[in-house]
Structure 1
Amino acid sequence: MDIEVLGALAVQENGASITPTAPKPRQVLALLALHADRVVPVATLTDELWGQTPPRSARTTLQTYVLQLRELIAAALARDAGAAGAPRTAKDVLVTMPCGYLLAAGGGGSDVRAFERLSGTGYRAMDAGDFPGAARQLREALALWTGTALADVQAGPQLQMEVKRLEESRLCALDQRIEADLRLGRHRELLAELTVLVNRYRTHETLHAQFMLALYRSGRRGEALETYQRLRTLLVKDLGLEPSAALQRLQWFILTAHPESAAAPAPGPGRERLLPTS
């Protein structure tokens, strides 16, 4: 089974799509796919589909959605009906467990697992001071994203939480990849990308610090200081907070033309604030 969730939902079994078009069966498949090879409790699926007010028929309706998914799986398995060995059934792929359901991936590909593997390798390379290797691994990890996670799935409470978790992981990988590129002297190459990012994440201090440093190293000291002032104005207006001490130090060192003396801000608890413009 091949699973893609870092963008549009796409799940294939035996080379054929088993992704339904109806909204609620898509939600069920998305949640099962995110937790492939692990049991997803009925209570979790029910909360995803109906929140805190499930109908009396919730269990029966969920079973209907599972049956619809199994029909798609059975059709995909039928493509390989002549294969040697005992044929798998739809119930072998979408398994009923005592307290829920399990989607058996059968060792197939998952873009989430690939992203986690590549980004983890990138983080270890950063820790070891291998900045070219870190930049390469993290760039490969981020290339797996084709858009917002589960962009075409109507998300309930459980999927909304999972999408936020994945987006946070994406931002962490992005932050580290940019840091690796800065250490490799690629400040001019980063300017266009960082311009977009600081406009999307208007109060993300680390991205703003990286943008300020890239601007300064590109001979645009005034714009680096303007970036700090815009961020400070927004933080005070929207959140009633001053920039972190680390970001204030970076601004001071840019003012005194010694920004390399300041470490890039590493936000502590509550300092990495994400407020996209959209």
Structure 2
Amino acid sequence: MEINILGPFTAHDHGVSIVPSAAKPRQLLALLALHADRVVTVSTLMQELWGESIPRSAATTLQTYILQLRRKIAGALIHDTSRQAKDVLETRHSAYVLHVQPGTLDFVEFDQLVESGRHATEAGDAHAASRLYGQALDLWRGPALVDVRVGSALELEVLRLEERRMSTLERRIEADLRIGRHAELIPELRVLAAQQPLHENFCAQLMLALHRAGNPWRALEAYQRLRGSLVRELGLEPSPKLQRIQQAVLTGRPVG
């Protein structure tokens, strides 16, 4: 089974899609996939599907959704005698487990590449770190589960994934700055700073790239834009780190 969460939701077994078209069974499969090979309780599944308004028929309806998923899985396994649908989507005591094969989950591959990038960073190999972080980010085909309705459990998972993606992007840019790709980074960082006008780290990275590329006045412009947004929206001044970068740019000193 090959499952993709980082963008539109897809799940295939032997090349056959097992993703239901109906919203709630699709939502159910997505949650089971995000917890692949781990037990997901019936109560968690009900909370995801119905929130605080769980109907009296929820248990029966959930079993119907599980049956629908197993039928989809069975259709994909029609020529595979080694597995049955109930083995892939297993019933446990008041819980279910979706079993998958190693190397078939894009979000797991993403985490593995990010971890490898972290090790490369710690070893001082910025070129390898940039490459690994870039490979991790290339797995994203859009916002996580962009075509799936999300409840309380999936919402937290999607938020975690999106935050990890953003932190990985920051790390990749940091690695690129370390290996001197300042001019190449400026267009990307301009877009990121515009999209997230309160994000201090993207502004700091943009200022560094501009300063090192010989555009100090544009770096100061970026600082003033961020400061204006922070003061207007939050009543806050930029962080000491950003103020230090501004002072370095003003005095013409190297930064970082």
Is the partner of 1:3 in helix, strand or coil?
strand
> Aligned ranges for residues 98-117 of structure 1 at < 5 Å?
98-117=93-112
Aligned position for 1:270: none
Is the partner of 2:197 in helix, strand or coil?
coil
Counterpart contact for 1:142–1:170, Cα < 8 Å: yes
| TM-aligned CA deviation for residue 106 of structure 1 | 2.9
Name the amino acid aligned to 1:8: P
- Number of aligned residue pairs: 256
> Aligned ranges for residues 160-199 of structure 1 at < 5 Å?
160-199=155-194
Aligned position for 2:50: 50
Calculate the TM-score normalised by the size of structure 1: 0.89
| TM-aligned CA deviation for residue 80 of structure 1 | 2.9
| TM-aligned CA deviation for residue 259 of structure 1 | 3.9
Name the amino acid aligned to 2:140: W
1:81-124 Cα deviation digits (max 9, x unpaired)? 5xxxxx31110000111031110003351111111111100011
Is the partner of 2:77 in helix, strand or coil?
helix
Aligned position for 1:213: 208
Is the partner of 2:149 in helix, strand or coil?
coil
Name the amino acid aligned to 2:75: A
The alignment yields a C-alpha RMSD, in angstroms, of 1.1
Aligned position for 2:198: 203
Is the partner of 1:147 in helix, strand or coil?
coil
Identity of aligned residues (%): 54
Distance in 2 (CA, whole Å) between partners of 1:238 and 1:223 is 23
> Aligned ranges for residues 14-93 of structure 1 at < 5 Å?
14-81=14-81, 87-93=82-88
Counterpart contact for 2:145–2:158, Cα < 8 Å: yes
1:12-39 Cα deviation digits (max 9, x unpaired)? 1222110111111110000000110001
Q: Which structure 1 residue ranges, 4+ long, deviate > 6 Å from structure 2?
A: none
Confirm or deny that 1:256 pairs with 2:255.
no
> What residue ranges of structure 1 are gaps of 5+ in the alignment?
82-86, 264-278
Distance in 1 (CA, whole Å) between partners of 2:23 and 2:250 is 54
> What residue ranges of structure 2 are gaps of 5+ in the alignment?
none
Is the partner of 1:78 in helix, strand or coil?
coil
Calculate the TM-score normalised by the size of structure 2: 0.97
Counterpart contact for 2:126–2:175, Cα < 8 Å: yes
| TM-aligned CA deviation for residue 163 of structure 1 | 0.7
